[in-house]
Amino acid sequence: MAAPALLRRDPMRPRNSKVLLLVMVLYGIYTLVPLAWLLINSTKTQAGLFSSFGLWFAGDFAFVDNLVATLTYQDGIFLRWLGNTLLYVALGAGGATFLATLAGYGMAKYGFPGRRAVFAIVLGAVAVPGTALAVPTFLLFSELGLTNTPWAVIIPSLVSPFGLYLIWVYASDAVPTELLEAARMDGAGEFRTFFTISMRLLIPGIVTVLLFTVVATWNNYFLPLIMLSDPAWYPLTVGLNQWSAQSIGAGSEPIYNLVIMGSLLTIIPIIVAFLLLQRFWQSGLSAGSVKQ
Interval 219-252: pLDDT, tens: 999 999 999 999 999 999 999 999 998 877 656 7
Q: Higher-confidence residue: 164 or 49?
A: 164
pLDDT of residue 292: 41
Is 29 part of any domain? no
Sequence-ordered alpha helix ranges (H) in the chain: 3-7, 18-41, 63-88, 94-109, 115-127, 130-144, 151-157, 161-174, 177-185, 190-193, 199-201, 203-218, 222-227, 236-247, 256-276, 278-286
Supply the pLDDT for residue 55: 82
Q: What angle do CA 80, 81, 85 make, to 5 degrees?
A: 120
CATH of the domain at 211: 1.10.3720.10
Residue 89 falls inside a structural domain: yes
Q: Is residue 136 one of the residues assigned to a domain?
A: yes
Note the pLDDT of residue 9: 58
Per the domain annotation, does 67 fall within a domain? Answer: yes
pLDDT of residue 227: 94
Could you tell me if residue 146 is inside a domain?
Answer: yes
Euclidean distance between CA atoms 182 and 196, whole angstroms: 13
Q: Look at residue 152 and tell me whether its pLDDT is greater than 50.
A: yes
User: Does residue 57 lie within any of the structural domains?
Assistant: no
Is residue 49, in this structure, part of any structural domain at all?
no
What value does the mean pLDDT of the chain take?
A: 87
Q: Which domain holds residue 128?
A: 62-286
Q: Are 257 and 62 in contact (CB under 8 A)?
A: yes
32 domain-assigned: no
Q: What is the mean pLDDT of residues 252-268?
A: 91
Work out how many domains the chain is built from and give that number.
Answer: 1
In this predicted structure, what is the pLDDT of residue 14? Answer: 59
The answer to whether residue 127 scores a pLDDT higher than 60 is yes
Reported as a pLDDT band with limits 50, 70 and 90, residue 70 is very high
